[in-house]
């Protein structure tokens, strides 16, 4: 019963869309043995659009695959050890990357850079070589830097298509909906919030004025709500007391975005969600990656939507976001140039 209801919550759109004619979709998880990768793999096993699930990690992936493969859904599951990366990627349509080290108390996402940047670069190099047309969904932090890293690697390899590379910022949206619903006394599913900018701290800009339940939130309540959305990850890091960061909620968010993309790949129209992509919105300020509402299609990014009207407070949040985001992006690009 859990598997069926969980699957429905992650893949059922507002308008019913039949999966009876769904195309074959191979999804590969790189980092499947980790704290995000294991629950993410389980949730993807529940998605009817996934026909083959390929799980890879430097350790533990075959065991995770054996475990997940027993779940009674139709998709086939295969696990690959450290020396079988190319086999894991062969013929894949979508690659989800949660690989890397988690945050610990006192660490920022930027503190993760030196370790995770090289992991993401090496995985991106393999994807560009083996499955250059795959859609790549980057979870590994710091996303503001790792998405530019993946993009630069693909560009270096001569196979870059900006419509195919996504930073998964869905957890910011999930938190915004949950936290606003708590303030407004509503159901999160009836409390949509667009979150733009980047995926760390002050670069996260929730557009509360654009949702009916957010318009009435003002003063100190507004400030606390925005801060909680921006720094919600710290709550989890502190509560886990050194044992990790937001893994379960991130796995849910990653599965949700993967499900959105698979629906669009299968031909569903009107799938719109925030994601961190190559974007023209602030390119004139030297910021060529940005998260905003993006319409997804069979080829990945179909249309990048403008931000719409912002409140005075949101304009201030955006002004604080942009210089920080620019530094994060440049750091990722510089890392590849120096590699």
Local confidence band at 114 (pLDDT 50, 70, 90 cut-offs): confident
Average pLDDT of span 240-267: 95
105 shares its domain with 209: no
Residue 315 three-state SS: helix
Whether 6 is covered by a domain: the verdict is no
Whether 8 is covered by a domain: the verdict is no
Local confidence band at 109 (pLDDT 50, 70, 90 cut-offs): low
Whether 325 is covered by a domain: the verdict is yes
Whether 314 is covered by a domain: the verdict is yes
67 shares its domain with 182: no
Q: Pick from 140, 167, 194: which residue ends a domain?
A: 167
265 is in an annotated binding site: no
Q: What is the pLDDT of residue 21?
A: 54
199 included as an active-site residue? yes
Whether 9 is covered by a domain: the verdict is no
197 shares its domain with 243: yes
Average pLDDT of span 28-41: 98
250 is in an annotated binding site: yes
Chain segment 137-168, per-residue pLDDT in tens: 999 999 999 999 999 999 999 999 999 999 99
Average pLDDT of span 208-220: 96
Whether 58 is covered by a domain: the verdict is yes
153 shares its domain with 59: yes
189 shares its domain with 294: yes
88 shares its domain with 113: yes
76 shares its domain with 192: no
- The domain in which residue 321 lies consists of 170-338
- Pick the catalytic residue from 164, 199, 227, 305: 199
260 shares its domain with 333: yes
Q: What is the pLDDT of residue 8?
A: 45
Decide if pLDDT at 265 tops 60: yes
| 113-130 vs 143-156: helix crossing angle, rounded to 10 | 40
140 is in an annotated binding site: yes
Decide if pLDDT at 219 tops 80: yes
58 shares its domain with 176: no
- Mean residue pLDDT of the chain comes to 93
Average pLDDT of span 276-289: 98
150 shares its domain with 277: no
Could you tell me what percent of the chain has a pLDDT over 90? 87
Q: How many domains does the chain have?
A: 2
Could you tell me what percent of the chain has a pLDDT over 70? 93
Closest CA to 182 of 221, 210, 215, 218: 221
Average pLDDT of span 93-120: 86
The CATH number of residue 102's host domain is 3.40.50.720
1 is in an annotated binding site: no
Whether 316 is covered by a domain: the verdict is yes
90 is in an annotated binding site: no
31 is in an annotated binding site: yes
185 shares its domain with 159: no
253 is in an annotated binding site: no
Decide if pLDDT at 18 tops 50: no
Chain segment 224-233, per-residue pLDDT in tens: 999 999 999 9
Q: Pick from 99, 133, 167: which residue ends a domain?
A: 167
Average pLDDT of span 181-202: 97
141 is in an annotated binding site: yes
Decide if pLDDT at 13 tops 70: no
Local confidence band at 329 (pLDDT 50, 70, 90 cut-offs): very high
103 is in an annotated binding site: yes
Whether 59 is covered by a domain: the verdict is yes
> How open is the CA angle 66-258-156, to the nearest 5 degrees?
100
Local confidence band at 266 (pLDDT 50, 70, 90 cut-offs): very high
119 shares its domain with 33: yes
Lowest mean pLDDT of 112-116, 196-200, 252-256, name the range.
112-116
Q: Pick from 147, 167, 187: which residue ends a domain?
A: 167
6 is in an annotated binding site: no
The CATH number of residue 211's host domain is 3.90.110.10
Q: What is the pLDDT of residue 56?
A: 98
Local confidence band at 61 (pLDDT 50, 70, 90 cut-offs): very high
């Amino acid at each position: 019963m859990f598997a069926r209801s969980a699957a429905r919550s992650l893949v059922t759109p507002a308008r019913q869309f039949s999966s009876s004619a769904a195309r074959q979709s191979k999804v590969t998880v790189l980092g499947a043995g980790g704290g995000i990768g294991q629950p993410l793999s389980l949730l993807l096993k529940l998605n009817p659009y996934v026909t083959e699930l390929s799980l890879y990690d430097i350790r533990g992936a075959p065991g995770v695959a054996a475990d997940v493969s027993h779940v009674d859904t139709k998709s086939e599951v295969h696990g690959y050890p450290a020396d079988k990366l190319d086999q894991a990627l062969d013929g894949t349509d979508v690659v989800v990357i949660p690989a890397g080290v988690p945050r610990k108390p006192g660490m920022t996402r930027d503190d993760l850079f030196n370790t995770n940047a090289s992991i993401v670069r090496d995985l991106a190099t393999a994807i560009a070589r083996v499955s250059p047309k795959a859609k790549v969904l980057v979870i590994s932090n710091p996303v503001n830097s790792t998405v530019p890293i993946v993009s630069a690697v693909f560009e270096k390899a001569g196979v870059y298509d900006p419509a195919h590379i996504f930073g998964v910022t869905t957890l910011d949206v999930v938190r915004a909906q949950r936290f606003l619903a708590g303030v407004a006394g509503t159901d999160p599913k009836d409390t949509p919030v667009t979150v733009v900018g980047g995926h760390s701290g002050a670069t996260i800009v929730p557009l509360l004025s654009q949702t009916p339940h957010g318009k009435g939130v003002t003063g100190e309540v507004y400030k606390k709500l925005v801060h909680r959305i921006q720094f919600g990850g710290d709550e989890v890091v502190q509560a886990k007391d050194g044992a990790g960061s937001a893994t379960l909620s991130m796995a849910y968010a990653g599965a949700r975005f993967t499900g959105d993309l698979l629906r669009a790949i299968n031909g569903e129209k009107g799938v719109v969600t925030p994601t961190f992509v190559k974007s023209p919105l602030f390119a004139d300020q030297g910021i060529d990656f940005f998260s905003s509402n993006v319409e997804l299609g069979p080829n990945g990014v179909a249309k990048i939507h403008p931000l719409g009207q912002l409140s005075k407070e949101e304009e201030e949040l955006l002004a604080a976001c942009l210089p920080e985001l620019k530094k994060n992006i440049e750091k990722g690009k510089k890392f590849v140039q120096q590699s």
